[in-house]
Amino acid sequence: MGSSVPSPATVQAVFDQLGPPGTPFTTPEIAAEFDCSDRTIYNRLDALVDEGVIETKKVGARGRVWWRPVDGDIRRNGGAFNERNPVSFRDEQALSFLSDSEMAERIRKFEWAKTPLGPMDGWPLELRVAADIMLGADEAIGLYWGEDLTLLYNDAWRELIGDKHPEALGRPAQEVFPEIWETIEPMFADVLDGNGVGFEREQRLSLERDGQIEDAWFDYSANPILMADGSVGGVFNIANEITERKDAQQTLRDREGRLNAFVTSTSEIVYRMSPDWSEMYYLDGKDFIADTEDPRETWLKEYIPPDEQERVMAAIEEAIETKSMFELEHQVHQVDGTRGWTHSRAVPILDDDGDIVEWFGTASDVTERRRAEQALRESEQRYQRLFDSVNESIEEAFFIIERVSGEGETAANGDDPAAYRFVETNPVFEKSIGVTDVVGKQVSDLDFDGDLPGSDVWGEVVRTGESRRFEIETTGGPLADGWYDVRVFPYGGADSRAAACLADDITDQKEVQRSLERLTEASRELIEADPEMVHDRVAELTIAVLDVEYAALWRYDEASGDLIDAISTLDTGIDAETVRHPDDASEHVWQAFIDDETAVTNNLHVDETVPDAATLRSRLLIPLGRHGVVCIGSFQPNGFDERIVDLAETLGATLETAWDRADSERQLQVQNEELQRLDRLNTLIREIDQALVGADTREEIDEAVCERLASSDLYEFAWLGEYDPGTNRIEPRAWAGVDSGYVEELTITVEDTPTNRDPIARALRTGDLQVVADIATDSGFAPWREATLERGARSLVCIPLVYDDAAYGVLTVYADRPQSDEDKRNRDVLSELGDTTAHALNARETRATLQTDSVVELTLRFEDADTPLYRLSRETEYTIEHQGFVPRSSGQTDVFFIVREISPEDLRATAERSLAFEDLDCLTERADGALFRARVSEPTLAARVTDEGAVVRSITIDSGVATVVLDIPHTAAVREFLNRLRQWHPELELRARQSRERPLKTRQTFVTALEDRLTDRQREVLQTAYLSGFFEMPRVSNGQEVTHLVGVSQPTFSEHLRAAERTLCEVLFETEPYAEDIVST
């Protein structure tokens, strides 16, 4: 608002604010911009007219309009022009249609050469300037040029003429507006004649628009466009359609007429006032306000609240002054003392001279309405505040549009988005379209590229009052490209022409949906996948589902316990092998694996000094449980938002589940195959068990086991071997399914040395089942690999045949496929087969022992046996063969043994360094070794085993190992015997056990054997000495007496007696070849 008394210059400035030159305004319109009376503004405007700044014209009986000339002073009633030039001349150049409006484009492209105006490059400068002014104006302006008034117009004017556009462009005005030409032609002719500005206010024109004649109301002016010579070249026609306002005014007049009729006849409250309202004559309050029948001068104080009195009196004074009807809504004191509202109307009663003699009034109780209106206003204010606050918080683009088409509209133009203006918008919408302050503007004003989402259903929603909701994908429109969930719903009451639109950007959701669809397809693909296929497809599926640039599978290797970068995939042309990771990438992958948690890094450190397009800038690690980690990469920073992370985790869970399922199915398949093999193996074992029951000999047992194993479809061939203490090798004793040449060429020694890795020997030494899972790769079976593979075998199982600590040999079974961890059950069954076979062999020996004079022969192995002969062998590094021992009454023992390739002196020297040896003699020296006798003070190995009831067959001490072959009675428990020996030497090892048949030693067989060995003379001498008491203590007969009895000399008696005694000892002790030397000693 201006100051209370504005200057003429200030009033002049208002014209520039309210409209362009040539726009007419009334005095009240100018006064509305200032805080002063209309009379003051009228005086200032009149002064500006005197100064030649503005022009004026009387309109109607009492009206007047004012306007600022388009350029310079114009000629009035043939008066002279001033000498100022048009704007275009002052600037020395014409404007050149800089507007980017639709009409500017049409004018530029129009074929003006076919019109009286001619080509544009020949247009006068005044016409070009006028056209630029017209196109740059917001008001509706038509430009008429030349004698035939050829028409040009701007976008706003185009809206006024309806479907006359676009044919109106470039045509004479009379052809464009034939229906109203008689009405408007005189004004244009007057302007062209140089009579100044023409102006009409509130003129009704029967204008043909949109195919029909309609009454329209306009305020319009005709402003001359001056040429350089002062003549008028054309006319600016500035028009403002006021049809809606006139319709509203007529409606108001109609309402006022009805209201007056009602007031004068049916009002509830009636009152009468004096001419100057100083006294109230009468009041019938109708229980609303207090009645009065007596004149009352204090009515103002009694009925009107103090804060309303001044406003009421002001309205009364104006009505008295103008002798017009008094009408006012104001507050009153009600009968109950509270405030109420009344709508009061009073008409003056005039006498013949026109003077007021009385006022007759009526009043209505409008308290409830005013309260309702107040509540409505407060509600609207609350709504607006709520709308404003919600507007700020709504994340979707939201706006309200209202149809602005006028009378005569059809469904077609009602559906035109351009026919709507924006009523409300929220910041999200304005940010989305990149335009601010759109409220109040028509859609057509914003010149959008494309349509707003949902604009095609605005008209339908407004007409039907039914909401619409749908999803739409937009490209190249006002909103960003993508998918939107659009809701369009009616706004306002039943007569409302508005609709609200909510456009929710669901592009991310759509991307998620499409990704989930791709994930579903991937899941279906993986349903039947085996573990290898899942492994191979992880990286490709990750890129396909997530639409990312890079993916790699880091697979967990259970054998090494490490994560291995197994498979990498890119969706670009870059080679996956050239992708550069940060140096600590493997550490982060491992951490994600052991934490089993997703890890996101959206800004990886990059060495800027090394330009490389294949360097990852963002990384997302998704663990796949025990299978490994998926590494997802982007070559852009901040490549992974929350949506991608959530989707990647879902994909990871799907891949892990598919992989687990594939592993489970593979494991189940393997287990089923294993169970089938196990079932076949159990059937085979039962067949073998039945064969073992019927076998009577060791050979039959061996043959039954090997034949049935080899004939089964589970195994290729089998053979059974036993340990030979003499050769220290495992010798085959039965085989099946393979040629004899193969088993006979096997050379398997039993020594426990670092170089001896043979699984068959290890099975015999340890008593544990041994497995060669793959003959092609196992180095322990290298010597026989080629020959074994040629015979169709890929794996083998070595089964020791052990029963009650006795080893009966080794069973070796060959299969045509490599072994796996799943074959453990099969190995357990084969181990039981070994126990069963060993038990059968033991049972066979037991039966043979009970039926004959048999013994159990054991081969034992002692390491680090702390005995005198063991220490002597270790220090001399020679082999010692034990021959026998004789305990002495002194507690010492004479030990007889053979050592080869050592001189007696060297051996004696070594023995002398040991406290255990008290004496050592060489009894004989032969080519195959020397026989020694040693007297020792410590227990010998032979003495220890004989003390447990065994008979020593041989003892060989070599390379720190003592091998003992001994017999124990068949009735003895082998395990108990071995346990007693292990109390002395825990490292004792049973190398072989077998039954041996010994001749039955009855008295008769002993006598017969002795008589076969003795000569008659020897028997005579021995028997005479025995019967004569020669062997008694003390002797009954001495040597001479026995000699006398047999009739031989003393030397002859001694010779025969010694020979007989030696023969007796040989038969009794079954001595070896050195027995003669030992006995003679």
Which candidate, 235, 233, 227, places its Cα nearest to that of 86? 227
Q: Are residues 767 and 842 in the same domain?
A: yes
Q: What pLDDT was estimated at residue 835?
A: 84
Domain residues for the domain of 959 are 854-997
Q: Are residues 820 and 717 in the same domain?
A: yes
Mean pLDDT of 524-529: 78
Name the strand (E) or helix (H) holding 901: none
Cβ-Cβ contacts under 8 Å for 947 (sequence gap 6 or more): none
Mean pLDDT of 212-238: 91
Q: What pLDDT was estimated at residue 924?
A: 81
Q: What pLDDT was estimated at residue 90?
A: 33
State the pLDDT confidence band at 1073, using cuts at 50, 70 and 90.
Answer: very low
Q: What are phi and psi of 830, to 5 degrees?
A: -65, -35
SS3 for 548? coil
State the pLDDT confidence band at 1065, using cuts at 50, 70 and 90.
Answer: confident
Q: What are phi and psi of 432, to 5 degrees?
A: -65, -40
- Domain count of the fold of the chain: 8
Q: Tokens in use for 547? A: 């639409």
Among 342, 372, 402, the domain-final residue is 372
Taking 90 as the threshold, does the pLDDT of residue 143 lie above it? yes
Radius of gyration from C-alpha coordinates of the chain: 65
pLDDT in tens, 388-447: 555 555 678 888 888 886 544 544 455 677 788 888 888 888 888 888 888 888 888 887
DSSP lists the bridge partners of residue 213 as 208
Q: Which of 345-354, 582-591, 754-763, 870-879 has the highest mean pLDDT?
A: 870-879
Q: What pLDDT was estimated at residue 812?
A: 93
Structural domain includes residue 688? no
Structural domain includes residue 1008? yes
Q: Are residues 424 and 318 in the same domain?
A: no
* Mean pLDDT computed over every residue of the chain: 81
Taking 70 as the threshold, does the pLDDT of residue 83 lie above it? no
Q: What pLDDT was estimated at residue 1003?
A: 60
Taking 70 as the threshold, does the pLDDT of residue 221 lie above it? yes
End-to-end Cα separation, the chain, in angstroms: 155
SS3 for 291? coil
Question: Do 500 and 488 form a contact (C-beta atoms < 8 A)?
Answer: yes
How many other β-carbons are positioned within 10 Å of the β-carbon of residue 237? 26
Name the strand (E) or helix (H) holding 1016: helix 1016-1027
Q: In the block, which residue shows the tokens 């004004």? A: 187
Cut 0.75: pTM above it: no
Cβ-Cβ contacts under 8 Å for 754 (sequence gap 6 or more): none
Q: Are residues 178 and 152 in the same domain?
A: yes
Question: Do 323 and 354 form a contact (C-beta atoms < 8 A)?
Answer: yes
Q: What pLDDT was estimated at residue 780?
A: 75
Q: What pLDDT was estimated at residue 718?
A: 93
Q: Are residues 966 and 1041 in the same domain?
A: no
Mean pLDDT of 362-385: 75
Structural domain includes residue 96? no
Question: Do 705 and 811 form a contact (C-beta atoms < 8 A)?
Answer: yes
Q: Are residues 529 and 455 in the same domain?
A: no
Mean pLDDT of 573-595: 78
Name the strand (E) or helix (H) holding 671: helix 642-694
SS3 for 566? strand
Structural domain includes residue 681? no
Taking 70 as the threshold, does the pLDDT of residue 678 lie above it? yes
Q: Tokens in use for 959? A: 């390379």
* Angstrom distance (rounded) from CA 377 to CA 763: 103
Structural domain includes residue 318? yes
Q: Are residues 517 and 637 in the same domain?
A: yes
Q: Are residues 147 and 236 in the same domain?
A: yes
Among 796, 822, 851, the domain-final residue is 851
State the pLDDT confidence band at 535, using cuts at 50, 70 and 90.
Answer: confident
| Domain CATH number, residue 578 | 3.30.450.40
DSSP lists the bridge partners of residue 807 as 802
Q: Are residues 609 and 462 in the same domain?
A: no
Structural domain includes residue 677? no
Question: Do 178 and 164 form a contact (C-beta atoms < 8 A)?
Answer: no
State the pLDDT confidence band at 761, using cuts at 50, 70 and 90.
Answer: confident
Structural domain includes residue 1076? yes
Taking 70 as the threshold, does the pLDDT of residue 76 lie above it? no
Q: Are residues 549 and 627 in the same domain?
A: yes
Mean pLDDT of 886-909: 84
Q: Are residues 658 and 784 in the same domain?
A: no
Count Cβ neighbours within 10 Å for each residue of 179-199 and write b for 16 or more, e otherwise.
Answer: ebeeebeebbeebbebbbbbb
How many other β-carbons are positioned within 10 Å of the β-carbon of residue 634? 19
Q: What pLDDT was estimated at residue 88?
A: 36
Q: Are residues 481 and 547 in the same domain?
A: no
Structural domain includes residue 349? yes
Among 147-156, 166-175, 925-934, which stretch is predicted with the lowest mean pLDDT?
A: 925-934
| Domain CATH number, residue 17 | 1.10.10.10
Among 821, 851, 881, the domain-final residue is 851
Mean pLDDT of 74-87: 34
How many other β-carbons are positioned within 10 Å of the β-carbon of residue 381? 10
Among 229-238, 454-463, 493-502, which stretch is predicted with the lowest mean pLDDT?
A: 493-502
pLDDT in tens, 1022-1061: 877 776 668 777 776 777 877 876 778 888 888 888 888 8
Q: What pLDDT was estimated at residue 411?
A: 46
* Angstrom distance (rounded) from CA 840 to CA 848: 12
